[in-house]
Amino acid sequence: MKYLSLIILSSLLLVQLAVAQDTGNEDEVVTFSTAYFSKFNPLTALDMVEQVPGFELEESDDETRGYAGAAGNLLINNNRPSAKQDLPSAILARIPAGNVERIELIRGQVRGIDLRGQSAVINIITREQTHATVKWEASLEQPARHGPITPSINASLTDNWQEIEYNAGISFFKNTYGRDGTDQLFDGENILTENRIDNRENRNHTITGNINAVTRLGETLVNLNANVSDEKRNQDLVSNRVSQLTGVDSSQVTFVERFDIPVFEFGIDAERNLTRNLVGKTIVLFNYSKEDGLQSQRTDDIDGVQTSLRIAEENSVARELITRIELDWKFFQNHSLQLNMERAYNSLNGSLDQTLDTGSGPVDVDIPGANSFVKEQRWDFLLQDTWSGSVFELDYGLGAEVSTITQTGDAEQKRNFFFLKPQAVFTWSSDQEKQTRIRVAREVSQLDLTDFVSSTVFDDEDLALGNPDLKPDRTWITELSHERRFGRFSVITLRAFHHWISDVLDLLPLTPDFETPGNIGDGRRWGVEFETTIPLDWLGLTGSKFDIKARWQDSTVVDPVTGQNRILSSRAGDFPIVYNVENKYAISLNFRQDFEVQQVAWGWYFLKRDERALFKVNEFEVYSEQPQLNVFIETTRWYGVKVRLSGNNLVDSSGFRDRTIFSGERDLSPVIERELRDRKRAPSALLTVSGVF
């Protein structure tokens, strides 16, 4: 906490010093002309959005509930893209910078745009008349060790055909990297019993095609989005195990994973004025994904003789169909009424076949709950009003959700749910440069349907059991934030938050040896977050800026194993390092300097976050890693082509896992084993060449 306080105080001083270099007025809409971005030499709309002070693009993920939050905080010509799998950053990367007329940072109610509880959204206004433009990019990445040079390429065409404006793109991404490291095993007396030397190689590639189109059919504005991709993931891990009792190799274990994941998405929306004061919009969005996986674990003794072979074949098909109607009514002065109605259908059909051969031939292994079909049907309603005054804005509404979750197969169950979801956001702008917001809302989480279905975890000789009794957790959110802008280039935002969570989703004990995703009771989360953008011209660093993000938080929930208070569990994994996870703190620093005349820019990015804890019934795991440091230099001096050289993970960051295994329930029985894992992902050099013609 003291480091966060120091960063905030230092940044406040820096911005006050920088304000002498930057004056101007702000409004509910902060408009950035293309001239503002010229010094950054952007090629795409994404290049431009990344340089908007005080704004960070949000990406949707598997936890996004329905359509409402899928497009994050991105608008294109006042409309959210009707897409979920096609990420906002990918959409922006296909829009040439020359096709952008201006970019708006919207911080309040304008033009009937629903902020959906967000503090700000970015609005890309494109030019009405554009000529055919091709945007292309090619890259080569070379890891410092364990891996060949891996290529990636993408291209997109923006053009008009008759009355249709469209953007079509195709991309190929390949990624090969190693994750070498060691595992050390200790017994209950903390005596080293085994060393494991792990060599892992990942070989992944994805091919994706996209099309986005917009046209008018009479008075109706129609947008279409389609995305299709095929991802192949391959991983080989060889673990050589040396017993510390004998000092010689004891065994070699080889893990192999092969996954093929095709994905298809189609979205269409239509909007028109129904009356002079009433606007209607209809949205249809369909997602389909299939995952075919094969995993194997082979163990050989010191003589190279196979002693066991475990094979698992996993297959799953996921579908989502969303239909949504939005009505905006502007009949009363200073009020904007909106009614949203959404129906969502989600399903997952999963199967798992596993065999074990210990020398006498393969034998089927029964995994309870592994072969199941789960579906959720949900109706969502929201009626809200935005009341705009001279210095304030009140956005308030009441939502309701009715859903049915049905599971068949290894588990048979049907359950109905009903939730009320009130929300209110009060915004006070005493002048054009200050904005204070208070937000209160009740949110319902999106269940991950894979948590209903069991799977295997070969690395840990464990099972991830599914739970047919899962229900969404609900969170009362309270937030207080204040934003202070110093002209167009400097901004400071401070936010405090407190969350009351009902039916926390965590790991629920089933037996002294097994747990499952489940609801463990009520919990809380609270903290503060700080963001700022500071120009550094006043320090003599012409054309430079410094972005800082810092978050500190704490949480509490009653542990279902020990009955004592503890923090909320976090997710596993260490790469890539993610800023927003369930942990104590995270700090990111981003520096960039542009030499406009020379058409050269350079910069660096630093991210550090605290460790993450995972509480199982008979295990306690702590994940952590060293900081991440990336640097880059880029130029557009030659023929308008951007050449960028990046050095990623320059500190050769290690990912650590500290795993403690108990003989029975965690902290209530003796420790029988402790495993310390240290794995590295090598630094890499990435050369990217891109252009527009």
The pLDDT tens digits of the residues spanning 641-684 come to 999 999 998 988 888 999 999 999 999 999 999 999 998 878 89
Residue 144 one-letter amino acid: A
Whether cis (ω within 30° of 0) applies to the bond prior to 143 is: no
Question: What average pLDDT score do residues 195-215 get?
Answer: 92
Closest C-alpha among 25, 52, 26 to residue 37: 52
The pLDDT tens digits of the residues spanning 26-64 come to 457 888 999 989 888 898 999 999 999 888 888 765 556
pLDDT of residue 522: 97
Please state the length of the chain.
693
The pLDDT tens digits of the residues spanning 609-653 come to 999 999 999 999 999 988 999 999 999 998 889 999 999 989 888
**Do the Cβ atoms of 425 and 388 come closer than 8 Å?**
no
Token readout for 6 is: 């120091």
pLDDT of residue 653: 83
Token readout for 417 is: 């749910």
3 state SS of 308 = strand
Question: What average pLDDT score do residues 284-302 get?
Answer: 94
Share of the chain above pLDDT 90, in %: 61
- pTM, two decimals, is 0.87
3-state helix, strand, coil in the chain (%, to 5): 5, 65, 30
Neighbours of 464 (CB within 10 A): 20
Model confidence at 21: pLDDT above 60: no
Residue 485's alpha-carbon distances to 104, 346, 379, 389, 583, in angstroms, are: 15, 42, 40, 21, 29
* HEC readout, 645-682: EEEECCCCCEEEEEEEEECCCCCCCCEEEEEEEEEEEC
pLDDT band at 494 (very low <50, low <70, confident <90, very high): very high
Least confident of 21-35, 123-137, 395-409, 583-597: 21-35
Model confidence at 4: pLDDT above 70: no
Q: Are strands 121-126 and 74-76 parallel, antiparallel or unpaired?
A: parallel
Domain ranges, ordered by start, for the chain: 181-358
Cα 166 → chain centroid: 27
Question: What average pLDDT score do residues 580-593 get?
Answer: 93
**In terms of pLDDT, which residue wins out, 495 or 457?**
495
| Rounded distance between C-alpha atoms, residue 666 and residue 15, angstroms | 49
Token readout for 252 is: 């070699």
Share of the chain above pLDDT 70, in %: 92
Cα 74 → chain centroid: 15
Question: What average pLDDT score do residues 495-508 get?
Answer: 96
| Rounded distance between C-alpha atoms, residue 593 and residue 602, angstroms | 6
The pLDDT tens digits of the residues spanning 361-401 come to 999 998 888 899 999 999 999 999 989 888 888 999 999 99
